[in-house]
Amino acid sequence: MAILKNPEEGQVTRQKAVTIRFPQVDPARIVFYPRYFEMVYRQFPELPLERPPFAIRTRFLKPNQLGDRLELCLIPGGEPHRWRVEGRMHDEVCFSMDSSADATAIDVECDAQRSLAFETVPQIVLGWIAGPSRQMQLSRYFEFVNIAIEEWFEDTLEAHFHEVHVGQDVGIPTAQFMTWCRRLPDVGETVTVGLEPLRLGRKSMTFRSYLLAGDECLVVSEQVVVFVRMLASGYETIAMPDDIRARFAAAMRGAAAG
Protein backbone atom coordinates (compact mmCIF):
# COMPACT_ATOMS: atom_id res chain seq x y z
CA MET A 1 0.00 0.00 0.00
CA ALA A 2 1.28 3.47 -0.86
CA ILE A 3 0.49 6.56 1.22
CA LEU A 4 1.04 9.96 -0.33
CA LYS A 5 -0.01 13.54 -0.07
CA ASN A 6 -2.74 14.98 -2.27
CA PRO A 7 -1.11 18.24 -3.37
CA GLU A 8 -4.44 19.91 -4.22
CA GLU A 9 -6.24 19.15 -0.97
CA GLY A 10 -3.29 18.68 1.37
CA GLN A 11 -4.75 15.37 2.50
CA VAL A 12 -3.35 11.88 2.79
CA THR A 13 -4.31 9.58 -0.09
CA ARG A 14 -3.99 5.80 0.23
CA GLN A 15 -3.28 3.70 -2.86
CA LYS A 16 -3.58 -0.04 -3.42
CA ALA A 17 -2.90 -1.92 -6.63
CA VAL A 18 -5.29 -4.58 -7.94
CA THR A 19 -5.25 -6.72 -11.08
CA ILE A 20 -8.46 -7.56 -12.97
CA ARG A 21 -8.97 -11.33 -12.81
CA PHE A 22 -11.05 -13.67 -14.95
CA PRO A 23 -13.97 -14.07 -12.45
CA GLN A 24 -14.48 -10.28 -12.51
CA VAL A 25 -15.09 -10.06 -16.28
CA ASP A 26 -18.50 -10.48 -17.93
CA PRO A 27 -19.40 -11.89 -21.40
CA ALA A 28 -18.97 -8.40 -22.86
CA ARG A 29 -15.26 -8.78 -21.97
CA ILE A 30 -15.27 -5.93 -19.45
CA VAL A 31 -15.50 -5.84 -15.65
CA PHE A 32 -19.01 -6.61 -14.37
CA TYR A 33 -19.82 -3.49 -12.33
CA PRO A 34 -20.69 -5.20 -8.99
CA ARG A 35 -17.09 -6.44 -8.91
CA TYR A 36 -15.85 -2.83 -8.58
CA PHE A 37 -17.75 -2.50 -5.29
CA GLU A 38 -16.17 -5.74 -4.08
CA MET A 39 -12.69 -4.55 -5.04
CA VAL A 40 -13.13 -1.25 -3.24
CA TYR A 41 -14.59 -2.79 -0.07
CA ARG A 42 -11.92 -5.52 0.01
CA GLN A 43 -9.13 -2.94 -0.11
CA PHE A 44 -10.79 -0.30 2.09
CA PRO A 45 -13.08 -2.14 4.57
CA GLU A 46 -13.40 0.97 6.72
CA LEU A 47 -15.74 2.50 4.11
CA PRO A 48 -19.45 2.24 5.06
CA LEU A 49 -20.43 0.10 2.05
CA GLU A 50 -21.95 -2.52 4.37
CA ARG A 51 -23.14 -0.08 7.05
CA PRO A 52 -26.13 1.97 5.91
CA PRO A 53 -27.57 4.51 5.73
CA PHE A 54 -25.39 6.02 3.00
CA ALA A 55 -25.50 7.49 -0.46
CA ILE A 56 -22.90 6.80 -3.16
CA ARG A 57 -22.38 8.32 -6.58
CA THR A 58 -20.52 5.98 -8.95
CA ARG A 59 -19.21 6.85 -12.42
CA PHE A 60 -17.75 4.37 -14.91
CA LEU A 61 -15.55 6.38 -17.27
CA LYS A 62 -13.48 3.75 -19.08
CA PRO A 63 -14.04 -0.03 -19.20
CA ASN A 64 -11.49 -2.36 -17.66
CA GLN A 65 -10.58 -5.69 -19.14
CA LEU A 66 -8.89 -8.91 -18.03
CA GLY A 67 -5.32 -8.26 -16.90
CA ASP A 68 -5.69 -4.51 -16.38
CA ARG A 69 -3.79 -3.27 -13.32
CA LEU A 70 -5.60 -0.56 -11.39
CA GLU A 71 -4.44 1.79 -8.69
CA LEU A 72 -7.29 2.24 -6.21
CA CYS A 73 -6.93 5.62 -4.52
CA LEU A 74 -8.85 6.50 -1.35
CA ILE A 75 -9.06 10.29 -0.98
CA PRO A 76 -10.51 11.69 2.27
CA GLY A 77 -13.14 14.35 1.86
CA GLY A 78 -12.27 16.51 4.84
CA GLU A 79 -15.22 15.31 6.95
CA PRO A 80 -15.70 11.88 8.60
CA HIS A 81 -18.57 10.91 6.30
CA ARG A 82 -16.96 12.26 3.12
CA TRP A 83 -14.66 10.16 0.95
CA ARG A 84 -13.81 9.41 -2.67
CA VAL A 85 -12.27 6.38 -4.38
CA GLU A 86 -10.77 6.51 -7.86
CA GLY A 87 -9.62 3.56 -9.95
CA ARG A 88 -6.73 4.75 -12.12
CA MET A 89 -4.75 3.14 -14.91
CA HIS A 90 -1.85 4.96 -16.59
CA ASP A 91 -2.86 8.13 -14.70
CA GLU A 92 -6.36 7.97 -16.23
CA VAL A 93 -9.44 7.64 -14.01
CA CYS A 94 -11.45 4.57 -15.07
CA PHE A 95 -14.12 4.76 -12.37
CA SER A 96 -14.92 6.75 -9.26
CA MET A 97 -17.11 6.39 -6.17
CA ASP A 98 -17.83 9.16 -3.72
CA SER A 99 -20.01 9.65 -0.70
CA SER A 100 -22.75 12.10 -1.46
CA ALA A 101 -24.24 15.03 0.39
CA ASP A 102 -27.55 13.65 -0.88
CA ALA A 103 -27.52 11.05 1.91
CA THR A 104 -30.17 13.14 3.64
CA ALA A 105 -32.43 12.45 0.65
CA ILE A 106 -32.59 8.69 1.30
CA ASP A 107 -36.07 8.79 2.79
CA VAL A 108 -37.29 11.19 0.11
CA GLU A 109 -36.05 8.96 -2.70
CA CYS A 110 -37.30 5.76 -1.08
CA ASP A 111 -40.75 7.12 -0.34
CA ALA A 112 -41.27 8.97 -3.62
CA GLN A 113 -44.25 8.02 -5.75
CA ARG A 114 -43.27 5.03 -7.86
CA SER A 115 -44.61 4.14 -11.31
CA LEU A 116 -43.08 0.70 -11.77
CA ALA A 117 -42.79 -0.69 -15.26
CA PHE A 118 -41.60 -4.05 -13.93
CA GLU A 119 -41.23 -5.87 -10.61
CA THR A 120 -39.51 -9.20 -9.99
CA VAL A 121 -41.11 -12.14 -8.24
CA PRO A 122 -40.43 -12.21 -4.46
CA GLN A 123 -37.07 -13.70 -3.52
CA ILE A 124 -35.78 -14.81 -0.13
CA VAL A 125 -32.39 -13.44 0.95
CA LEU A 126 -30.25 -16.53 1.52
CA GLY A 127 -26.97 -16.90 3.33
CA TRP A 128 -24.79 -17.06 0.21
CA ILE A 129 -25.51 -13.41 -0.63
CA ALA A 130 -24.87 -12.17 2.92
CA GLY A 131 -21.74 -11.01 4.68
CA PRO A 132 -20.69 -11.61 8.31
CA SER A 133 -23.43 -9.21 9.41
CA ARG A 134 -26.02 -11.59 7.91
CA GLN A 135 -27.19 -8.78 5.66
CA MET A 136 -27.20 -8.73 1.86
CA GLN A 137 -23.84 -7.52 0.55
CA LEU A 138 -23.96 -4.34 -1.53
CA SER A 139 -22.44 -6.05 -4.58
CA ARG A 140 -25.15 -8.74 -4.40
CA TYR A 141 -27.78 -5.99 -4.38
CA PHE A 142 -26.39 -4.73 -7.68
CA GLU A 143 -26.52 -8.29 -9.04
CA PHE A 144 -30.22 -8.43 -8.10
CA VAL A 145 -30.72 -5.16 -10.00
CA ASN A 146 -28.86 -6.50 -13.03
CA ILE A 147 -31.00 -9.66 -13.11
CA ALA A 148 -34.15 -7.54 -12.83
CA ILE A 149 -33.03 -5.40 -15.78
CA GLU A 150 -32.40 -8.49 -17.89
CA GLU A 151 -35.79 -9.94 -16.95
CA TRP A 152 -37.43 -6.60 -17.73
CA PHE A 153 -35.79 -6.47 -21.16
CA GLU A 154 -37.08 -9.96 -21.91
CA ASP A 155 -40.54 -9.63 -20.39
CA THR A 156 -41.48 -6.06 -21.28
CA LEU A 157 -39.13 -4.98 -24.07
CA GLU A 158 -39.02 -8.41 -25.76
CA ALA A 159 -35.25 -8.07 -26.06
CA HIS A 160 -33.12 -10.99 -24.83
CA PHE A 161 -29.69 -10.08 -23.54
CA HIS A 162 -28.18 -13.13 -25.25
CA GLU A 163 -29.43 -11.92 -28.62
CA VAL A 164 -28.37 -8.33 -27.94
CA HIS A 165 -24.89 -9.19 -26.60
CA VAL A 166 -24.04 -12.20 -28.76
CA GLY A 167 -26.29 -11.95 -31.80
CA GLN A 168 -25.89 -8.21 -32.35
CA ASP A 169 -22.53 -7.80 -30.53
CA VAL A 170 -24.03 -4.86 -28.63
CA GLY A 171 -23.19 -4.09 -25.01
CA ILE A 172 -25.26 -2.10 -22.50
CA PRO A 173 -22.78 -1.00 -19.82
CA THR A 174 -23.68 1.24 -16.91
CA ALA A 175 -22.21 4.74 -17.11
CA GLN A 176 -23.41 6.16 -13.80
CA PHE A 177 -25.15 5.15 -10.57
CA MET A 178 -26.62 7.26 -7.79
CA THR A 179 -27.49 4.95 -4.91
CA TRP A 180 -29.41 5.75 -1.73
CA CYS A 181 -29.29 2.92 0.83
CA ARG A 182 -31.57 3.08 3.87
CA ARG A 183 -30.77 -0.47 4.98
CA LEU A 184 -29.70 -3.82 3.52
CA PRO A 185 -32.08 -6.78 4.00
CA ASP A 186 -31.34 -9.53 6.48
CA VAL A 187 -31.05 -13.22 5.69
CA GLY A 188 -34.56 -14.67 5.58
CA GLU A 189 -36.28 -11.48 4.41
CA THR A 190 -38.31 -11.55 1.20
CA VAL A 191 -37.51 -8.81 -1.32
CA THR A 192 -38.41 -7.69 -4.83
CA VAL A 193 -36.75 -5.29 -7.28
CA GLY A 194 -38.94 -2.75 -9.08
CA LEU A 195 -37.90 -0.72 -12.13
CA GLU A 196 -39.14 2.73 -13.13
CA PRO A 197 -38.09 4.26 -16.50
CA LEU A 198 -37.15 7.94 -16.32
CA ARG A 199 -35.47 9.27 -19.46
CA LEU A 200 -34.72 8.11 -22.98
CA GLY A 201 -31.75 9.48 -24.93
CA ARG A 202 -30.39 8.70 -28.38
CA LYS A 203 -27.63 6.44 -27.03
CA SER A 204 -28.71 5.92 -23.43
CA MET A 205 -31.59 5.28 -21.06
CA THR A 206 -32.07 6.24 -17.42
CA PHE A 207 -34.21 4.43 -14.89
CA ARG A 208 -34.60 3.87 -11.18
CA SER A 209 -34.54 0.57 -9.35
CA TYR A 210 -36.08 -0.05 -5.94
CA LEU A 211 -35.19 -2.84 -3.55
CA LEU A 212 -38.44 -3.49 -1.66
CA ALA A 213 -39.33 -5.60 1.36
CA GLY A 214 -43.12 -5.57 1.25
CA ASP A 215 -44.13 -1.91 1.46
CA GLU A 216 -40.73 -0.86 2.80
CA CYS A 217 -38.22 0.66 0.39
CA LEU A 218 -34.67 -0.33 1.34
CA VAL A 219 -32.43 0.87 -1.52
CA VAL A 220 -32.93 3.16 -4.52
CA SER A 221 -30.56 3.50 -7.48
CA GLU A 222 -30.80 5.87 -10.41
CA GLN A 223 -28.86 4.31 -13.26
CA VAL A 224 -27.73 5.46 -16.71
CA VAL A 225 -26.89 2.76 -19.27
CA VAL A 226 -25.42 3.34 -22.74
CA PHE A 227 -25.47 1.26 -25.89
CA VAL A 228 -22.11 0.33 -27.39
CA ARG A 229 -20.66 -1.77 -30.19
CA MET A 230 -18.11 -4.25 -28.91
CA LEU A 231 -14.69 -3.96 -30.55
CA ALA A 232 -11.49 -5.95 -30.16
CA SER A 233 -9.87 -2.95 -28.44
CA GLY A 234 -12.89 -1.91 -26.36
CA TYR A 235 -16.14 -0.39 -27.58
CA GLU A 236 -17.74 2.59 -29.27
CA THR A 237 -21.04 4.19 -28.32
CA ILE A 238 -23.88 3.70 -30.79
CA ALA A 239 -27.47 4.83 -31.20
CA MET A 240 -30.01 2.68 -29.41
CA PRO A 241 -31.52 0.05 -31.76
CA ASP A 242 -34.88 1.27 -33.08
CA ASP A 243 -36.86 -1.72 -31.82
CA ILE A 244 -35.55 -1.34 -28.28
CA ARG A 245 -36.14 2.42 -28.35
CA ALA A 246 -39.77 1.94 -29.41
CA ARG A 247 -40.43 -0.64 -26.70
CA PHE A 248 -38.70 1.43 -24.03
CA ALA A 249 -40.77 4.49 -24.99
CA ALA A 250 -43.93 2.38 -24.78
CA ALA A 251 -42.90 1.11 -21.34
CA MET A 252 -42.41 4.70 -20.17
CA ARG A 253 -45.85 5.70 -21.43
CA GLY A 254 -47.41 2.64 -19.77
CA ALA A 255 -45.71 3.32 -16.44
CA ALA A 256 -46.79 6.96 -16.52
CA ALA A 257 -50.37 6.00 -17.31
CA GLY A 258 -50.39 3.42 -14.50
Structurally, the chain folds into a number of domains equal to 1
- Taking 70 as the pLDDT cut, the residues of the chain under it are 1-12, 80, 101-113, 159, 161-169, 232-234, 255-258
For 105, the domain range is: 2-257
Residue 4: predicted pLDDT: 45
128 burial class (0-12, 13-18, 19+ CB within 10 angstroms)? exposed
Residue 234: predicted pLDDT: 65
Q: Which pLDDT tens digit goes with each residue over 207-216?
A: 899 999 998 9
Residue 114: predicted pLDDT: 72
Number of helical H runs and strand E runs in the chain: 5, 15
205: CATH: 3.10.129.10
Residue 168: predicted pLDDT: 62
Q: Which pLDDT tens digit goes with each residue over 51-95?
A: 898 999 999 998 899 999 999 999 987 776 789 999 999 999 999
Q: How many whole angstroms separate alpha carbon 117 and alpha carbon 194? A: 8
